[in-house]
Amino acid sequence: MRLAGVVGLGLVLAVTGCESGGKKPAGSNKAAKPDSKDKTKVADKSKVAAKPKPTADAKPKKKVGYSTPMGTPLKVKDTTWAKKAGEAKLGDEKYTKVDPNTIPASPAPTVTPPAGTFAFRVSYSTSKKATHETIRASFQAEKVWERMANMLNGIVKLRKNIDVTMADCGQPNAFYDPNRSRIIMCYELVVYFATLFKAVAKNTEELGIRAVLATVFVFFHEVGHALRHNLNLPVTGPEEDAVDELATLLLLEIDKGAFVAAYGAEAFQLIHKDKKRRGSTLPFWDEHSLGEQRYYNVVCLIYGSNPKSHHKLVDQGYLPKARARRCHTDYQNKSRAWQTLLKPHFTAAVLKAIANQNKPGAPPSDAKGCSKAVTRMLTMLRKAVAKAQPAKLKEFDSKVPKEMPRMLGICRNKWTPLQRNCVFNAANLQQAQTCFLKR
């Protein structure tokens, strides 16, 4: 289903010459550069100086283009452990695969689910190492894993309890143990991330935040393994890549979860660099794609989830333009695929939210209104007209006031909240077209 057919804008076809066999609007086959600002006055006739077109994709940088905000999720207040952890000397040990059975059984969970139900349960093992004990105390006081477990319990219904525990492993690692149905997050992993981020963090507080968020991303990666096993989900490609996708998609549903995914992606690059230095791989990455590949896969999903908000990832060279052009569609395809796999296991609250998102005219509080969505659409259409048929721009602007009420009516009666959000977040007309593809 093409966008013009959904919108019903004869205006667009007329001024671009499509009805008479003229050229299609620019952007229908080629992605435009994401807007740096959302224009609210679509009929503004003032000319904007065109930005010089780059001759080649900018060279990707070595870290994700985010500044840590004060409201970063899961910010552990006590970061005294971060300084000492960052000074740890891991040396050049060539680690071997750890058998999860060698790690002691998890302590009793801090919270148990009601009888007859299953859930993610959390526990913390004590450590004889002072730094590890400080990390445990910090994570436990802030209820880091409890918050994550509660969120996941609100999303999926499990067939068996999944325990989440922090423990000493003897090496930087994290894994899902199917024999005991538990996710093990090693204290050594937090220390390892602190040593990696020490070179790029501005201070101890930021070092602690980066190490925690990277650890949380790895946790969601292991959650992917756990859900695949617990719910018997089919996976048609490499499982490690699949659970990276699921981890990122889940995080993108959390407020500011993109920051967690971003620092997870940055950790992949730092691990890749460390792996080269060591001349060997760390045990929990040995079945994964290359760190650089995983980095771009995650950043692509972040950008694709909201190209308008995350355009700096492309503008500043963290994501090549050639890859960015496909990210919006990739995000939608992967999101729909995982939603299909998980739908039979979603909680009633999630199913209700999905139904509202796919119901035409539904006004959930988190959806963009038709006024914003239509204004965004007109902004992108105007850019297409200005590029393909500059002489028709005046005609376009003159017809917008008359067409606006009709477009608002179509939006209210036919566009779902999901489609409205998709249009508002699209960076260009080509991306907006994908919002109306049959699902």
The Cα 418–Cα 416 span in angstroms is: 5
Compute CA distances 333 → 67, 322, 431, 435, whole Å: 29, 18, 13, 11
E-assigned strands of 112-154? 120-124
Nearest C-alpha neighbor of 427 from the set 1, 13, 38: 38
Helix (H, G, I), strand (E, B) or coil at 176: strand
Q: What Å distances lie between residue 272 and 17, 78, 81, 251, 374, CA to CA?
A: 51, 29, 25, 23, 44
Residues with pLDDT less than 70, the chain: 1-78, 89-97, 111, 278-291, 356-368, 438-439
Cβ proximity of 16 and 25 under 8 Å: yes
- DSSP letter for each residue of 61-111: -SS-S-PPPTT-TT--S--HHHHHHHT---TT----PPPGGGSPPPPPPSS
User: Which two structure tokens, joined as six digits, stand for 214?
Assistant: 């990277």
Task: Identify the residue whose tokens are 């009420």.
Answer: 405
Distance CA 120, CA 68 (A): 29
- Give the dihedral sign, CA 225/251/261/139: negative
Q: State the pLDDT at residue 248.
A: 94
The residue behind tokens 């909201």 is: 306
Using DSSP's 3-state secondary structure scheme, residue 166 falls into strand
Tracing tokens 């260009």 back to the chain, one arrives at 428
Please report the pLDDT score of residue 94 as a whole number.
58
The pairing of beta strand 182-186 with beta strand 162-167? parallel
Q: 84 CB contacts (<8 Å, ≥6 apart)?
A: 131, 134
Rg (CA), the chain: 24
3-state secondary structure of 41: coil
d(CA 24, CA 414): 25
* Tens digit of each residue's pLDDT (9 = 90 or more) over 228-272: 999 999 987 788 889 999 999 999 988 778 888 988 888 888 887
- What's the number of CA atoms in the CB half-sphere (13 Å) around residue 113? 20
Q: CA geometry: angle at 100 spanning 155 and 250, to 5°?
A: 20
Closest Cα partner for 384 from 16, 35, 42, 3?
16
CA distance 192 to 176: 19
* Cβ(237)–Cβ(289) below 8 Å: no
Q: Is the Cβ–Cβ distance between 294 and 36 less than 8 Å?
A: no
d(C-alpha 18, C-alpha 414), whole Å: 24
From the list 32, 111, 16, 92, the residue with the least C-alpha distance to 308 is 32
Tokens (6 digits) for 79: 């970061």
Displacement of CA 134 from its chain's centroid (Å): 30
Can you give the pLDDT at residue 136? 92
Q: Biggest alpha carbon distance in the chain? A: 78
> In Å, how far are 71, 85, 222, 265, 439 from 79, measured between CA atoms?
16, 10, 24, 22, 46
- Residue 185: CB atoms within 10 A of its CB come to 24
